Structure 1
Amino acid sequence: MKILQVINNLDVGGAETLLSAYALNSRENTSVILTLVSSDSWIKSELENAGVKVIDLALHDKYRFFGAIRGIVNVTLSEKPDIVHAHLFPPQYYLAFLRLFFRKISFVFSEHSTNNRRRGILLLKPLEALSYRIYDRVIVISEAARKELCRLYPGQNCTIVYGGADEKRFSGPRNEEFDFILVASLRGKEKGVDVFLEALSMIKDRGYTAVVLGDGVMKNELIELRDRLGLKKTVDFKGNVGNVGEYLRKARVFVLPSRWEGLPVSIMEAMFAGTAVVASRTGGVPEVVPENDCALLFEPEDSEELAKALVRVLDDNELRLRLAENARKRAGLLFTLSAFTSRLDSFYREIKRTRK
């Protein structure tokens, strides 16, 4: 089958990483990736170098409704996909609208989180609910995301498809050089990077060092916060890098202080790298790393609880090693790239079968 994957761009992020991983590794289906705006990332380069077709509408911004609709229609007509798969917002709305006109093609949407700002806007609530119901099927990436979607929109037809990570890219010899690493898109406040910095400021007398990987519009603001908190010499913002696995294997602890989550791929990557995990107790996180068995968890936005967890996991070598090893074994059982690809292949097969 041919799958037309529609996403905002191919900047570095969880949804983009999962989409790329599937397109590169499925032997059953062919993905054509349509982006609304241009990107210049290692994800895009890797896809194009592997021969995956990437079509860029090169819009001025992702909210150009008429330009996006016109471009998606033209590509859909020329590529003739069996399934059109929308990721993130606003493709969620664009493809829901176009579903009304392409009745012979299956349209699906992936919900990558348990929350979004639109659900709190009164005028958008009816449109939000309708956008989900129009799709033939909605993918959710965790049980937490499924429960939240069904709570908001009872009767919603959705399927859980757990993500995965390329174990070969992240596994390998460890060479610990610094204490903490945080890998996240810096495009908004949902990843809680500010919470991490506040926690570090509470324990800065201990001399811990940290690296933040990722980029986005919040980066400069977060760097300014780091400097105000007196952490300039201990927290290094590296931006986007292609060798995330190498950095993960150099860190003693992976930290993800998200305010909300779907099912973070970055935690799976840390698990394969053998890096102990400290993360917020939100969304699908407890599904990936059961508390006190594979990770230490804390309440979202509680920087004081996070600070205590960071000290605990570094001071207790036995605990840190046990958490990392348990997480590594769990990742090998549930979150390999082949397991994820197989789950999504099976989902597409079911869509095609029920369409006939």
Structure 2
Amino acid sequence: MEKLKIVHLLHSIGGVDVYLRLVLENMNTDSFENIVIHGAKDTIKPFFDKKGNKVKEYKVSIFRDISIFNDFKSLVETYKILKIEKPSLIHAHSAKGGIVGRITGRLLGIKVIYTPHAFSYLSTQNSLKRILFLSIEKFLANGNSQLLATSQSEKKRAIEEVGYKPKNAIVFNNCIEPITKIQPLTITKTWPEDYICTVGRPSYQKNIEQMIRILHEVNKEAKIHLIVMGVGPVSGQLESVKNLIQELDMGNDVTLLNWTERTDVFHIINQSKFYLSTSRYEGMPYSIIESLALSKACVVSNCDGNKDLIIDDYNGFVVDNEDIKDFKSKILKLLIDKELLDKLSKNAFNSYSENYNIKKNISELESIYLD
């Protein structure tokens, strides 16, 4: 049987990078040949398949920021690569990959599967940018492309807001490998034993300022430390977060950690009391799936992805994002009621095991590729 050749096109950072590596490392190499086209400066770490072999990759001018020159250049570069490789399918990931992939796919008559990993128009407060980004998504919807959402709520948004036909929108939930071993920290521990945690760069999306305000209210009644992991170079609201911490005199209550090894993230989540998210939008966040896999209850905002993963009062709590009072109430409930925390934590692992184990679920994605 001839292998199905798939080109993955993306700016390989963050959750998108995690998604692709998990897919490549679990797909059947006897049935599929994978090739990666990614940004020239996004990752230097090679991609590997299920057998541990390096996956063929190309680097093109895909960058995070909008640039007419670079964006057009990436179209030309990708078009030339696709002409040489002649794939049966393009799997385009996130906004930039989605635009380049769908345009070049149309030009060459190649079917495209597009995974937004949270639509780009959700990422801005600027109404003109929001309209522009949404218009681009609407223009490129349907045609030769099929939407592969990472959650049911992302699929719903694609149909209701972007205009995808229901027949052209399907779901493959983000999922991860079981976390069977917790490695020692590679960084120096500077925080207390009792803490809650989150993963996410200070940004409009993650809304860390809201988290700081919530913690400030919680600590009026029950002291708990917060660790924020993922404070990297692309953290547009880092100064805002630091200023708020100083303003509320919370320097001893919050630890901001730079990007670190994924094993460190697992270690820190595993030792925490529970996980917290105040995101304004998501696709389906890996950090919450990882928390479920580590038997951690989660208190999360009511946005796409979060509300798919967390069932209220089963494996955590879902709270309206602006409701600081309710966030405070749910956090205090878990800090005070150990029996409840234990029950939700046990259910958290059951949620992961039943729904988000890639070892069990990869065959679903392979079937989508072959359809």
Q: Same fold (TM over 0.5)?
A: yes
Mapped pair 1:91 → 2:90: no
CA contact (8 A) 2:46 2:54 kept: no
Deviations 1:13-63 (A, max 9, x none): 22221111101221242322211241347xx35659852333222566653
What is the deviation of 1:158? Answer: 0.7
In terms of mean alpha carbon deviation, does 191-200 or 21-30 score higher?
21-30
C-alpha distance in structure 2 between counterparts of 1:114 and 1:124, whole Å: 9
265, 277, 285: which one aligns with 1:264: 285
Pairing 1:116-265 to 2, within 5 Å after superposition: 116-117=121-122, 121-123=130-132, 125-152=134-161, 153=163, 155-156=165-166, 157-168=168-179, 177-186=193-202, 188-205=203-220, 206-214=222-230, 215=232, 216-218=234-236, 219-242=238-261, 243=263, 244-265=265-286
Which residue of structure 1 lines up, in the alignment, with residue 6 of structure 2? 3
Which residue of structure 2 lines up, in the alignment, with residue 353 of structure 1? none
Identity between Structure 1 and Structure 2 (%): 17
What is the deviation of 1:302? Answer: 2.2
How many residue pairs end up in the alignment?
Answer: 342
What is the deviation of 1:76? Answer: 1.5
Instruction: Report the AA paired with residue 249 of structure 2.
Output: G
Deviations 1:253-294 (A, max 9, x none): 111111122222211100111112111122132322211011
SS at match of 1:266: helix
In terms of mean alpha carbon deviation, does 16-25 or 336-345 score higher?
336-345
Gaps of 5+ in 2: 185-191
Which residue of structure 2 lines up, in the alignment, with residue 22 of structure 1? 23
Which residue of structure 2 lines up, in the alignment, with residue 281 of structure 1? 302
SS at match of 1:101: helix
The verdict on how the C-alpha distance between 1:171 and 1:277 changes in structure 2, with shifts beyond 3 A counting, is farther
C-alpha distance in structure 2 between counterparts of 1:227 and 1:75, whole Å: 50
C-alpha distance in structure 2 between counterparts of 1:316 and 1:141, whole Å: 33
SS at match of 2:273: strand
CA contact (8 A) 2:26 2:362 kept: yes
Calculate the aligned-residue CA RMSD, in Å.
2.6
C-alpha distance in structure 2 between counterparts of 1:346 and 1:136, whole Å: 17
Q: TM-score, normalised by structure 2?
A: 0.84
The verdict on how the C-alpha distance between 1:130 and 1:58 changes in structure 2, with shifts beyond 3 A counting, is closer
Mapped pair 1:39 → 2:49: no
C-alpha distance in structure 2 between counterparts of 1:23 and 1:91, whole Å: 17
Q: TM-score, normalised by structure 1?
A: 0.87
Instruction: Report the AA paired with residue 106 of structure 1.
Output: K
Which residue of structure 2 lines up, in the alignment, with residue 313 of structure 1? 334
Higher relative contact order at CA 8 Å, sep ≥6: structure 1 or structure 2? Answer: 1
Gaps of 5+ in 1: 351-356
Deviations 1:106-159 (A, max 9, x none): 211013226724895445554321211234311112221222221121625111
Instruction: Report the AA paired with residue 253 of structure 1.
Output: F
SS at match of 1:90: helix
The verdict on how the C-alpha distance between 1:50 and 1:201 changes in structure 2, with shifts beyond 3 A counting, is farther
